[in-house]
Amino acid sequence: MRKDGQNVVKKRKVRQGKKEGICGYCGKITQLSEDHVIPQCLFAGKCPNDTPTIYACERCNNIVKSGNDIYLRDMLFMDMHSAQHPIVQQLWEKFKRAVSRNQSPAAKYALSNGRYVRLHTVSGIFREWAYEMNLPLERVTDILSMMTRGLYQYYVGRKLPQYSQFEVMRIQGDLRQFETTIQVLLQLGAPFVTVGDGEVFQCIYACSAAHPEVSLWFLCFYNSVVFSVVTNRQVSQQAPSSHAKPAESI
């Protein structure tokens, strides 16, 4: 993703000391703890100070999100596009240990469901063998949906409705068509966010003026793996007289 024309984002810090409230992920009213929306395990060392955080319930933070974080890390570490990134290389031994201790559900799944495939150059010449992981799409969608919900709350400053729908798509190989979209979004003033120096995570997003719960996100990990996420696309396709609920405010 290009940083040209980087737009300024007002960062909203989670109110410190808040113990009881609404979970930013599931909406339950209960005791809350601070969650790093971008997993700490993706960073070598401490998270940068500007890592987005929201408050979440015990289950979302320490059970669901913790599992998601490890799954996302291992998925990115096994991805041929991000595996060579210096930070991934730095953390590689940690990942290897997790795999050898059978603590990596993503690696376990990939090893039992993947297959070797031949990769070719654009002109059709055999280039190399690669291992196709075929990770379950639903799991990847769940992880990135939850992350987008957290990012929306932190950066947009509102909560997505609980009924929100998420369409997640991995952008394969050729980014050019999306680069154009990204440039257009930047020109329209869409915020471009980097966490730390942006090596681990950066994103650009835009919300519909008429329906703020309709939003488009490009999430980029390790400068090489990009996902697009669209929230509540169906709302924008409904007639203005529809009964869509407005986005909840914090």
> Considering the complex, what minimum distance in angstroms separates the CB of residue 250 from Zn ion?
15
222 contributes a contact to Zn ion by CB under 5 A: no
> Considering the complex, what minimum distance in angstroms separates the CB of residue 215 from Zn ion?
21
Question: Token pair of 1, please?
Answer: 């993703």
CA distances from 178 to 11, 53, 63, 190 (A): 26, 28, 34, 14
Among the listed ranges 15-23, 164-172, 176-184, 187-195, the one in contact with Zn ion (CB under 5 A) is 15-23
Which residue type, as a one-letter code, is found at position 164?
S
Sequence-ordered list of residues with C-beta below 8 angstroms from that of 184, at least 6 positions apart, any chain: none
55 contributes a contact to Zn ion by CB under 5 A: no
Long-range pairs, 62-65, Cβ under 8 A, ≥24: 62/33, 64/25, 64/146, 65/25, 65/35, 65/146
> Considering the complex, what minimum distance in angstroms separates the CB of residue 23 from Zn ion?
3
CA distances from 64 to 69, 104, 147 (A): 9, 15, 11
64 contributes a contact to Zn ion by CB under 5 A: no
Residue 75 burial (C-beta neighbours within 10 Å; 0-12, 13-18, 19+) = buried
> Considering the complex, what minimum distance in angstroms separates the CB of residue 24 from Zn ion?
7
> Considering the complex, what minimum distance in angstroms separates the CB of residue 214 from Zn ion?
23
Q: Which is nearer to Zn ion, 26 or 169 (CB)?
A: 26
Name which position in 9, 14, 22, 26 contacts Zn ion (CB under 5 A): 26
Buried b (16+ CB within 10 A) or exposed e, 76-105: bbbbeebbebebbeebeeebeebbeeeebe
Q: How far apart are CA 164 and CA 154, in angstroms?
A: 16
Q: Which is nearer to Zn ion, 23 or 207 (CB)?
A: 23
Among the listed ranges 16-24, 31-39, 71-79, 195-203, the one in contact with Zn ion (CB under 5 A) is 16-24
Residue 129: phi and psi, rounded to 5, are: -90, 145
Q: Is 141 helix (H, G, I), strand (E, B) or coil?
A: helix
147 contributes a contact to Zn ion by CB under 5 A: no
Residue 68 burial (C-beta neighbours within 10 Å; 0-12, 13-18, 19+) = buried
83 contributes a contact to Zn ion by CB under 5 A: no
160 contributes a contact to Zn ion by CB under 5 A: no
Among the listed ranges 5-13, 52-60, 105-113, 227-235, the one in contact with Zn ion (CB under 5 A) is 52-60
23 contributes a contact to Zn ion by CB under 5 A: yes
37 contributes a contact to Zn ion by CB under 5 A: no
Name which position in 1, 47, 57, 235 contacts Zn ion (CB under 5 A): 57
Size of the site for Zn ion (CB under 5 A): 5
> Considering the complex, what minimum distance in angstroms separates the CB of residue 14 from Zn ion?
15
Where along the sequence are the contacts to Zn ion (CB under 5 A)? 23, 25-26, 57, 60
